[in-house]
Chain A
Amino acid sequence: MSYKIPMGPYHPALEEPYKLDLICTGETVTDAKLHIGFNFRGIEHLAETRNYIQVIALMERVCGICSNIHTLTLCQAMEGLTGLTPPPRAQYIRVVMAELERLHSHVLWAGIAAKLMGFKTMFMTCFELREKVMDVLQAISGNRVNYSMNRIGGVNRDIEDPIALLGMIDVLEREMVKKVIPIFTTSSTARSRCAGIGVLTHEKAISCGTVGPVARASGVGQDIRKAAPYAAYAEMDFEVPVQPDGDVKARLLVRALEIMESCKILRQALTKMPPGELASGGDKFTFVTGTATSRVEAPRGEVMYSVSWKEGARNPARVHVRTPTFATMPAIRWMVLGARLADTPLIQASIDPCYSCTDR
């Protein structure tokens, strides 16, 4: 006999509200339905009522974790409509901010995953590490959530002493190599909760159109930083970690390895940061009529913005946002099929979902 277990919209395993209706036979999940929309704020419509300065502040609030990525993608699209090219130093600062954001997002996720495994010590370790990253973000921008770093044509603030940030990267890398990666990959608790759990096959990852670490953990090696480099990524030397297994462990491992790659990128960006201006164009620029599109690799995968403008208008005519969780979340249905009910909180969390992004 099958029965339905609703998980959410409010549940200890969910950071934000969404609902997963699990159809079970005994302890085994045989089907699942996802319900979203609890965080819908009508942001795409609101964007049409904001001018070119206000819309940046608005889109920074699409997501509380990858806020910088949203303004970066939006500004890149608006730069396509104004003809402005950010100066080299601004491009490097954009890379630094994007990678710091990836670090804090991935470490945050590792902490939450540890908590869902019942591994509280690891949760505390990860959050202690995340604090170090957050302190750096605060030191650069003055903020811990909405950094207000991006503007059309560049960035708002400088990183005055880039070399001083290298110490934090050394600490983070050391802790990852000595503690986090070995414990997550060798401890029996982590192995028993993650290995072979919530498998998304390579074929399903492609057919569902998944992106980011979820796709890479199923053997799909796509990363916009490599495939279509933006900001200063073309000048950075880094690898794109890919794992073939498609289970929770593979997603964990991909993110852990991405933390190491982010440290590598940060070290290059901070040491090679060129001197110069922070923004081009000043306040003198005009929008041409048309649509510009920009893609960026957020911590959860590809973000895409399409921005339309009419020449002489104060507000955009249309802003469309495709977030990574919107692309990846439907795959949860396939991950939980055949899983034990007790594993479903960790499986759904393993995609590092952002419901605010998804709903907008």
Chain B
Amino acid sequence: MSVFETIQEKLGVTEPWLEKGGVHWLNPSPLSVRELAKAMIALNARFITITAYQLPKEEGLKLEYHWDLDGQLLGFPFLLAGNTIESIYDLSEAVDWIEREIHEGFAVDFTGREYEPLLLREGETPGVNLREEVKK
């Protein structure tokens, strides 16, 4: 069984993988980000980073969670309806700084965790760095 089939089986997702731009993408829906993180940790995958995007107009935000398993770069996109998503910091301490950075850069609220400033913002307002409506 390939790495990709193993992950699909572990996640219970039947949607096919899509290899694009150097990443193997899988839409993890309907899994939550915490269910995904638990499954990836159980497979001994290594957390790499989260990339945040502000989508055009009123489409909201997208977070891409990147994990590495046996040298394969895996990507799992999550669309945020509002500004919140569950934190996975209690599952993997490797996400601490990137969750804090995205909170400060994009004003995303990772629920279920405490924040300390990462000093990447001016004053107390999150989102000054990369949110379109603020950075202009």
Contacts and interface: CB of A to CB of B under 8 A. Distances in A.
Interface of A: 33, 35-38, 40, 42, 44-45, 76-77, 80-81, 206-209, 222, 224, 226-228, 290-295, 302, 304, 306, 308, 318, 320, 322, 326-327, 329-330, 359
Nearest to A318: B53
A327 B94 CA distance: 7
Interface string B108-136: 00000000101110000000011000010
Contact of A304 (B49, B70, B93): B49
A40 B117 CA distance: 13
Q: How large is the interface on B (under 10, 10 to 19, 20 to 34, 35 or more residues)?
A: 20 to 34
Q: In the A-B complex, list the 8 residue pairs whose CB atoms are closest, starting with the nearest.
A: A37-B119, A209-B94, A227-B71, A292-B21, A322-B49, A320-B51, A293-B22, A228-B71
B46 A209 contact: yes
Interface in B60-115: 64, 66, 68, 70-73, 75, 92-98, 105
A208 B64 contact: no
A293 B75 contact: yes
Contacts of A326: 97-98
Given A35-B119, A304-B48, A295 B73 contact: yes
Contacts of B7: none
B47 interface: yes
Contact of B96 (A206, A295, A302, A330): A330
Contacts of A42: 129
Interface of B: 20-23, 46-49, 51-53, 64, 66, 68, 70-73, 75, 92-98, 105, 116, 118-120, 129-130, 135
A208 B93 contact: yes
27 contacts: A36-B118, A36-B119, A38-B119, A40-B120, A44-B129, A77-B21, A206-B46, A208-B93, A208-B94, A227-B68, A228-B71, A228-B73, A290-B20, A290-B21, A292-B21, A293-B23, A293-B75, A295-B73, A304-B48, A318-B51, A320-B52, A322-B48, A326-B98, A327-B48, A329-B97, A330-B93, A330-B96
A280 to B, nearest CB: 18
Nearest to A319: B51
Given A207-B93, A330-B97, 20 more contacts: A33-B116, A37-B118, A37-B119, A37-B120, A40-B119, A44-B129, A44-B130, A77-B22, A209-B95, A222-B68, A291-B20, A291-B64, A293-B21, A302-B48, A306-B64, A320-B52, A322-B49, A326-B98, A327-B49, A327-B94
Contact of A292 (B22, B97, B120): B22
Contacts of A327: 48-49, 94
Contacts of A77: 21-22
Contacts of B118: 36-37
Contacts of A207: 92-94
Contact of B21 (A40, A291, A330): A291
Nearest to A209: B94
A81 B120 contact: no
Contacts of B66: 293, 304, 322
Contacts of B21: 77, 80-81, 290-293
A35 B21 CA distance: 34
Contacts of B48: 209, 302, 304, 322, 327
Nearest to A207: B93
A227 B130 CA distance: 32
B130 A45 contact: yes
A142 to B, nearest CB: 31
Given A291-B21, A295-B73, A308-B53, A209 B47 contact: yes
